[in-house]
Structure 1
Amino acid sequence: MEKSKVYFTNMRTSFNENLPQKLERLIKKAGIDSIDFDEKYTAIKIHFGEPGNLAYLRPNYAAVVVDVVKQLGGKPFLTDCNTLYVGGRKNALDHIDAAYKNGFSPFQTGCHVIIADGLKGTDEELVPVENGEYVKEAKIGRAIMDADIFITLNHFKGHESTGFGGALKNIGMGCGSRAGKMEMHSAGKPYVDTEKCIGCGRCIKICAHDAPSIADRKASINQDKCVGCGRCIGVCPKDAVLPAGDESFDILNKKIAEYSYAVLNGRPNFHISLVVDVSPYCDCHAENDVPIVPNVGMFASFDPVALDQACADAVNKQHVMRGSLLEERLNEHEDFHDHFTNVTPETNWHVAIEHAKKLGLGTDEYELIEI
């Protein structure tokens, strides 16, 4: 496979060009206008940021992508799927509130927010995964699969389970419904935290397989009957139903690659990553830490695998930020000569790259073109 082209620009500005203008020039130079957007519904997948986290991408960047899509005749919308864990984005109403509070309103970005897997994270489409080693049918938010064109706008940063979060993480994990996220995170099935359970019976009503039952005003789930759809997690009013969260990090990375394949296969797609505010952990946290490296720049490519590899390589060329978790970790253990491994030694981000290559999503061989 020949090298993929990855376009890059740094964060320097001039009196003649600010950062939004520079981002527009980058994505046009990278060839986004080669896609036929005419009257096409265009999903722009982004992470709106967990309330309390301030490392998420500013909505100004999203507005640039929206404007370009509109210039090219497309019908864009910003989208994400609900979270599996308890937090400020676990249902569509809270999720949209969080997006608006963080500045992603139609007045700021120029388009609407659609939570792709619906009110409770159960509106999904089953998408076959050809040659999937772990996933045969990915559970993807329906609005994402309804779109004609798929674009990612990624905040590239560290991640406590996958090493880093970039294009593949934003696509695979981000586009999974609640059941899909549970499938990626868990080898097992959901269970009930009886201290939180109030015995309301909503899990019983939603289950098509008679897995939940109630005794002494507390629910339990029959693991033999449970198929792991995750709908009970979505309807529980007290967040008492929890995923097992017991999948190994390597298999998690492989499942993310397979979910990414389900999302991208068979339709035009384009990917943008901003390597700024490189926090050690995901934007799903309700807080963010000191960046582990300085801001690097903005990248764009049609190849999400090459894009992730280029961003990781760029981060690893940066010096360690003083006072960061990365500096602290380097004082605790040996230097693995990889910033992400140094932050979370138990992870291996290369696994997702290699598995995505195996699936035919792209290549880690790239030509970096600086503009």
Structure 2
Amino acid sequence: MTGRFAAIKLHFGELGNISYLRPNYAKAVADVVKELGGRPFLTDCNTMYPGSRKNALEHLQCAWENGFTPLTVGCPVLIGDGLKGTDDIAVPVAGGEYVKEAKIGRAIMDADVFISLTHFKGHEMTGFGGAIKNIGMGCGSRAGKTEQHSNGKASINPKKCKGCRTCLKECANDALHFDPETKKTSVNQDNCVGCGRCLGSCNFDAISFALDTAIEMLNRKMAEYTKAVVDGRPQFHISLIVDVSPNCDCHGENDVPILPNIGMFASFDPLALDQACVDACLKAKPLPGSQLAENMDKNDFVDHHDHFTNTRPESEWRTCLEHAEKIGLGTREYELIVVK
């Protein structure tokens, strides 16, 4: 660890969210890295969707408002894919079936050591958000997140387009056309390859992609992105099963936790870690008054024998872990060592 840059990847929480991991957890990890001679920094990448974390300026402001500052966590806070979410690097995915080169935030790949610090919670699409989601989706640049979420092509809202033509500089496929009469840019769907490079260039949220990837495909791409991030370098992963909200920390609001606080899990293997966390959650008793408990009280309730699926029946998580094991990200077998 001596003299090495250590990226600590976590979710700073959307503004209005109150279940994200508190800064004191990040400080504890950063302090250990510094004690070992390392040079830690907290990091996350910009979001695909418009919100309070879609560019580095707003993202840092959000992190600060949620308590993540160099003074509170004891190390710098960096946005991994740069100002507009376009500072990424193409990382080969060994054994990838759906992604050959993942678009990962450059600062994350420049780090010598990678540490994930994850808030384990429910998720409206992937069932739960664990280490693999924190790494695979979280480390993808705006274009990388677009690749995972969308099989489609860009569209431009003419009401939001300012005619600045910044997006044209990012397109390598002659898919964007500027009309000098209307002073608006449009998409040539025949030429668009859905790469997402234009998304980060627009300051006015005029460009969007439909979230049309099937959940199973999203899960598999997410696993492959995770493999791109962690392959071939020192890594360690920590997940806290606390404040288990039914939805992702990307939401600007919270419902009550669906499960009680269980504790902290850690592993060198992100797949084994996710499997251990989900196993522990499935053994827990649902909390009264939660979305999970309310669903289970409905007259037409169908028991899936899975707390995450019972919370969000449209979600699915098993394909992610199955594919992660298939491509060699890690193993789903683990030995649970309890420390009290």
SS at match of 2:335: strand
Equivalent residue, structure 1, for 2:278: 312
Q: Deviations over 1:220-248 (max 9, x none)?
A: 21122223332321122220100121100
Name the aligned partner's letter for residue 55 of structure 2.
N
Equivalent residue, structure 1, for 2:337: 369
* Deviant stretches of 4+, over 6 Å: none
SS at match of 1:258: helix
Is 1:131 the equivalent of 2:99? no
Is 1:262 the equivalent of 2:228? yes
The answer to whether the Cα contact below 8 Å between 1:179 and 1:228 also exists between their aligned partners in 2 is no
Is 1:71 the equivalent of 2:71? no
Task: Answer 1 or 2: higher relative contact order, Cα 8 Å, separation at least 6.
Answer: 1
Q: C-alpha separation between the residues in 1 aligned to 2:203 and 2:26?
A: 33
The answer to whether the Cα contact below 8 Å between 1:158 and 1:280 also exists between their aligned partners in 2 is yes
Where in structure 2 are the equivalents of 1:92-171 lying within 5 Å?
Answer: 92-171=56-135
Equivalent residue, structure 1, for 2:258: 292
Of 339-348 and 293-302, more deviation after overlay is shown by: 339-348
2:187 counterpart (221, 244, 247): 221
Q: C-alpha separation between the residues in 2 aligned to 1:370 and 1:288?
A: 30
Is 1:253 the equivalent of 2:219? yes
Q: Deviations over 1:147-195 (max 9, x none)?
A: 1110000000011111100000000000001110000000112211233
Q: C-alpha separation between the residues in 2 aligned to 1:62 and 1:39?
A: 19
Q: C-alpha separation between the residues in 2 aligned to 1:356 and 1:206?
A: 32
2:249 counterpart (275, 278, 283): 283
> 1:114 Cα shift?
0.8
Equivalent residue, structure 2, for 1:340: 308
Q: C-alpha separation between the residues in 2 aligned to 1:193 and 1:160?
A: 26
Of 319-328 and 86-95, more deviation after overlay is shown by: 319-328
Q: C-alpha separation between the residues in 1 aligned to 2:156 and 2:108?
A: 30
TM-score, normalised to structure 2's length? 0.96
Name the aligned partner's letter for residue 336 of structure 1.
H
The answer to whether the Cα contact below 8 Å between 2:86 and 2:201 also exists between their aligned partners in 1 is no
Is 1:185 the equivalent of 2:149? yes
> 1:214 Cα shift?
3.2
Name the aligned partner's letter for residue 141 of structure 2.
S
1:89 counterpart (53, 72, 88): 53
Equivalent residue, structure 1, for 2:326: 358
Of 169-178 and 213-222, more deviation after overlay is shown by: 213-222
> 1:252 Cα shift?
0.1
> 1:40 Cα shift?
0.8
2:209 counterpart (243, 254, 266): 243
SS at match of 2:104: strand
Residue-pair matches, total: 335
Is 1:202 the equivalent of 2:170? no
Equivalent residue, structure 2, for 1:7: none
Where in structure 2 are the equivalents of 1:14-53 lying within 5 Å?
Answer: 37-53=1-17
> 1:329 Cα shift?
2.0
> 1:320 Cα shift?
1.2
Of 284-293 and 218-227, more deviation after overlay is shown by: 218-227
Of 189-198 and 343-352, more deviation after overlay is shown by: 189-198
> 1:361 Cα shift?
1.4
Of 224-233 and 138-147, more deviation after overlay is shown by: 224-233
Of 329-338 and 85-94, more deviation after overlay is shown by: 329-338
Equivalent residue, structure 2, for 1:19: none
> 1:327 Cα shift?
1.5
Of 203-212 and 83-92, more deviation after overlay is shown by: 203-212
Q: C-alpha separation between the residues in 2 aligned to 1:214 and 1:147?
A: 39
> 1:137 Cα shift?
0.4
Equivalent residue, structure 1, for 2:19: 55
TM-score, normalised to structure 1's length? 0.88
> 1:366 Cα shift?
1.1
Q: C-alpha separation between the residues in 2 aligned to 1:314 and 1:205?
A: 49
The answer to whether the Cα contact below 8 Å between 1:257 and 1:352 also exists between their aligned partners in 2 is yes
Unmatched runs of 5 consecutive residues or more in structure 1:
1-36
> 1:344 Cα shift?
1.7
Name the aligned partner's letter for residue 53 of structure 1.
N
> 1:370 Cα shift?
0.6
> 1:131 Cα shift?
1.6
The answer to whether the Cα contact below 8 Å between 2:151 and 2:194 also exists between their aligned partners in 1 is no
SS at match of 2:302: coil
Q: C-alpha separation between the residues in 2 aligned to 1:237 and 1:151?
A: 31
Q: C-alpha separation between the residues in 1 aligned to 2:202 and 2:236?
A: 36
Q: C-alpha separation between the residues in 2 aligned to 1:312 and 1:88?
A: 29
